Amino acid sequence: AQKVTQAQTEISVVEKEDVTLDCVYETRDTTYYLFWYKQPPSGELVFLIRRNSFDEQNEISGRYSWNFQKSTSSFNFTITASQVVDSAVYFCALSGYSGNTPLVFGKGTRLSVIA
Amino acid sequence: DADVTQTPRNRITKTGKRIMLECSQTKGHDRMYWYRQDPGLGLRLIYYSFDVKDINKGEISDGYSVSRQAQAKFSLSLESAIPNQTALYFCATSDLGAATGELFFGEGSRLTVL
């Protein structure tokens, strides 16, 4: 069975600090996809990134970066120089091969960035 | 207009009432899903459908039923609502032709059962 663990329930940082959100996953599939979604206070779910299991290169998008390590089954998300607008709940998710298994989500990490 | 539309967006009802949450999509996707979100529990899958004739139970299907009326429509019903079904409900779609399983979400339906 697939499982995603986000051990950090809530994180609070001061604006401009860097923050890393942890995600650890379990799967027996050799091919799978990992995702991060953001849920701002308004409630909608915003797609941030998709990464397939064959691509272990880190990815950077502006202040956001993702570190995928197959050896530790982790897909961590770092926000550099955090801003108040980054305050949200962040979900990590996992899908199986060919998308035939619905996404399994972690319980989410609530990030509060204080001005 | 949103690609995935949920109605109603907010609903308050009483214990024992029948409630239907509707979802329609214009993305042309074959696959549709209903997830439930509770604080601290993340998103949990209720039901999913890979095509019009296919319905599958998810992790927490008890107390819910679904209907896939057309490729574009997927409704979730609570036959007799109870207070612990108070939650934020999300409909989502995904593309059969995409191997990633990436989901496209509606804006959510907040249900309160008194």
Per-residue pLDDT 10s for chain B (114 aa) are 679 999 999 999 999 999 999 999 999 999 999 999 998 889 999 999 999 999 999 999 999 999 999 999 999 999 999 999 999 999 999 987 666 678 899 999 999 999
Do the Cβ atoms of B47 and B60 come closer than 8 Å?
no
Q: How far is CA B83 from CA A24, A108, B14, B62, in A?
A: 32, 23, 8, 14
Contact A33 B102 (CB under 8 A): yes
Q: From the list A6, A44, A99, which residue is nearest B107 (CB)?
A: A44
Amino acid code (one letter) for B99: A
> pLDDT digit string (tens) for A54-87?
888 888 889 999 999 999 999 999 999 999 999 9
Rounded to an integer, what distance in angstroms lies between the CA atom of residue A37 and that of residue B48? 20
In the three-class reduction of DSSP (H, G, I as helix; E, B as strand; rest coil), residue B8 is classed as coil
Residues in chain A closer than 8 A to B58 (CB atoms)? 102
Q: Is A44 on the interface with B (CB under 8 A)?
A: yes
What pLDDT was estimated at residue B86? 97
Closest to A96 measured CA to CA, from A49, A26, A36, A40: A26
Rounded to an integer, what distance in angstroms lies between the CA atom of residue A1 and that of residue B71? 29
Do the Cβ atoms of B57 and B5 come closer than 8 Å?
no
